Amino acid sequence: MALVVSALGLVASACQQPVSSSKPPPPQDVEQPLMCEGTQPGTATLRLLTRTQYDNTLLDLLGDSSHPAQSFPPEHRVENFENNAETHQANPLLVEKYWGAARDVSARAVAERLESIAPCAEGASLACADSFLTNFGKRAFRRPMLPDEADAYRALYAKAEPTLGYPAAIGLLLEAMLQSPQFLYRVEAPIAATPETGAIPLGGFELASRLSYFLWNSMPDDELFRAVDALELSTPEGVEVQARRMLESPKARAMVSDFHRQWLDLDRFDGLARDDATLPVVDSQALTDAWKQSLLSYVDHVYWSGSGTIQELFNSDVLFVDPTLANLYGVAAPAEGTFAGVAQPGQRAGLLTQPALMALLSHADQSSPIQRGVFVRSQILCDPPDPPPPTVNNNPPDPDPSLTTRERFKVHTENVVCATCHQLIDPLGFGFENYDQFGRFRSVENQLPIDASGAIVDSPDPAIDGPFTTPFELTNRLGSSEAVLNCLTTHWYRFAMGRVETESDVCSLDQARTKFVATGGDLKELLVALTLTDAFLYRPAMLEGP
């Protein structure tokens, strides 16, 4: 089995370098374990809350479920993920939106929940405001508010309260807090009192936020704050206890859904058009919403109701339908507004054959073996093919009633120039020809039998290379491949760390991957393992003092 850790092919170079400089280079034999001595810290940087994190945080902090961030400009996605620390940055529109949301949310909080967020028996007093700053402030900043920070808010209160009264003055404090950088950003590396050396354990509050914004996409809860105060996050064991506890929460399920929405690019469904003259006109937005929800329900089922393994993710025959989709796929419809799982043995085989993904990886009027092959190559095997030359006519051939889709793409294999790359793509994509542009299972196309045979060619995992005859054979092979497991580890790693891996992440990636393998491909164990990597627990030294 080839040693493949990274999507970027970093491993070959990075792993042949001694990570600990005092050691000789490791042997070239790829079966040898990695040389990962000492602690390899990750990076620590300012992280602006994403829209999802902002809304979830407001809910946990204030009970505000208005989701104002849905109208914020979208984050800039890197490798499909929205939480990239470098590219998600402030811009004029976003700052305006923060301003508007802070005003709306604080007005609502004061009107509806003043008693719970800033109780004041006396009716109005500086002591009440102070207590608000101490108690609420710690939750808003996710660490205790510093004295000079509190002073600045106190000055605002003192200015506003005499004219506007206690509730409105508290509202202004809240409005200011929600626009303050201590709320909007996660600070991972406050400057050290003295210059540091080596790998530094992340501080308790910083680590609590890392855990909560990874596993919950939201702020820490009271139990996490308690664990910080009790210094329980200073050991990997303590972190593991919290991670396992947090995975029991519905917030973790929502996070897993969010990961798949981003990774699988499901937002691309918005505005997706799908044509078929034989179908009655359906509300396209309702259909795309249903597809999205169907896929997320499938993932949720595998993670939380099924075995929770990568094998099941790639092999389950379950399909989730609402009445719209039940009609489309010819299965019994559940009640309006609900999704129900139905087994479709012989028709579905895991994530890759989910109708939503098949529909997404299609053209409006036909399936797209090319998009499907490229997707498997890029997102499942982490081995993206080279781009086509620009002069290539990549407008798909028009549907032809006398040919199957597969036959129309013959030029790719008949033309030697095309074939060089397309032999890596098309034979993979042909494996999904049983699914049309609506994700419907089909055995014939244009009265001609579907040929879904193909081959995995020159993949990062030689053990899975070779011909196959059905999509079930293909996905089964992928689900048991170490390269696929490594690739999924990499996607989760990027999501957990909020950045793309570098050479210094090789050892942390391997820590997570090793545990993932050791637990038989248990997906939740992978999530726990990610929180216990060096990159998650440590940051580099700050060489400058205050």
Partner 1 sequence: MHTRTTRRRFLKGAGGVLVALPLLDSLRARAQEPAAPFPKRFVTMYNPNGTVHASWFPTGGETDFVLNEIHKPLEHHRDKLLIFQGVNATVTATGPGGPHQRGIGSLFTGHELLEGEFVDGCGSRAGWANGISIDQAIANQIGLDTPLKSLEIGVRAIEADVQARISYAGPGQPLPPMNDPTEVYERLFANFVSAPIDPDDPTDQRASVLDTVETQFDLLNRQLGAHDRQKLEQHLELVRDLERRLGSGTGEAGSCDTPVAPAVLDPNNENDMPAVMKAHLELLAVAFACDLTRVASLQISTGFNRIRFPWLDSLSEGHSLSHTGASDEESLAQLVARAKWHSEQLAYFMDLLAQIPEGDGSVLDNTAILWGNEVSVGNTHSLENIPYLIAGNAGGALATGRFASFEAASANDLLSAVANAYGIETETFGHPDYASAPLTGVLV
Within 464-503, the residues that bind partner 1 by CB under 8 A are 500
- The Cα 304–Cα 416 span in angstroms is 47
Is 231 an interacting residue with respect to partner 1 (CB under 8 A)? no
Within 257-276, the residues that bind partner 1 by CB under 8 A are 270-271, 273, 275
- The Cα 146–Cα 134 span in angstroms is 9
At residue 405, the 3 state secondary structure works out as: helix
Q: Say if CB 361 and CB 295 are below 8 A apart.
A: no
Q: Give me the helices (H) in 430-522, please.
A: 471-479, 482-497, 506-518
Structure-token pair, residue 246: 């947090």
Residues 114, 124, 138, 149: which binds partner 1 (CB under 8 A)? 149
Stretch that binds partner 1, among 61-69, 80-88, 107-115, 324-332 (CB under 8 A): 80-88
Reference 214, options 542, 539, 540, 529; nearest CA is 529
- The Cα 228–Cα 207 span in angstroms is 9
Min dist. Cβ of residue 159 to partner 1 (A): 6
Is 176 an interacting residue with respect to partner 1 (CB under 8 A)? yes
Min dist. Cβ of residue 202 to partner 1 (A): 15
Is 92 an interacting residue with respect to partner 1 (CB under 8 A)? yes
Within 277-296, the residues that bind partner 1 by CB under 8 A are 284-285
Three-state helix/strand/coil letters over 53-83: HHHHHHHHHHCCCCCHHHHCCCCCCECCECC
- The Cα 286–Cα 290 span in angstroms is 6
Is 12 an interacting residue with respect to partner 1 (CB under 8 A)? no
Please, is 177 exposed, middle or buried when counting C-beta atoms within 10 Å of its C-beta (0-12, 13-18, 19+)? buried
Indicate the residue among 47 and 513 with the shorter CB distance to partner 1: 47
Indicate the residue among 320 and 492 with the shorter CB distance to partner 1: 492
Indicate the residue among 190 and 330 with the shorter CB distance to partner 1: 190
Is 1 an interacting residue with respect to partner 1 (CB under 8 A)? no
Within 185-214, the residues that bind partner 1 by CB under 8 A are 185, 187, 189-191
Beta strands in 310-441 (DSSP E): 318-321, 340-343
Min dist. Cβ of residue 403 to partner 1 (A): 18
Within 45-74, the residues that bind partner 1 by CB under 8 A are 45-46, 71, 73-74
How many residues sit in the footprint of partner 1 (CB under 8 A)? Answer: 73
Is 179 an interacting residue with respect to partner 1 (CB under 8 A)? yes
Residues 6+ apart with CB under 8 A from 334: 321, 322, 323, 326, 340
Min dist. Cβ of residue 146 to partner 1 (A): 7
Site pattern 371..410 for partner 1 (x: CB under 8 A)? -------x-----xxxxx-xxxxxxx--------------
Residues 56, 83, 128, 175: which binds partner 1 (CB under 8 A)? 175
Min dist. Cβ of residue 543 to partner 1 (A): 9
Q: Say if CB 527 and CB 247 are below 8 A apart.
A: yes
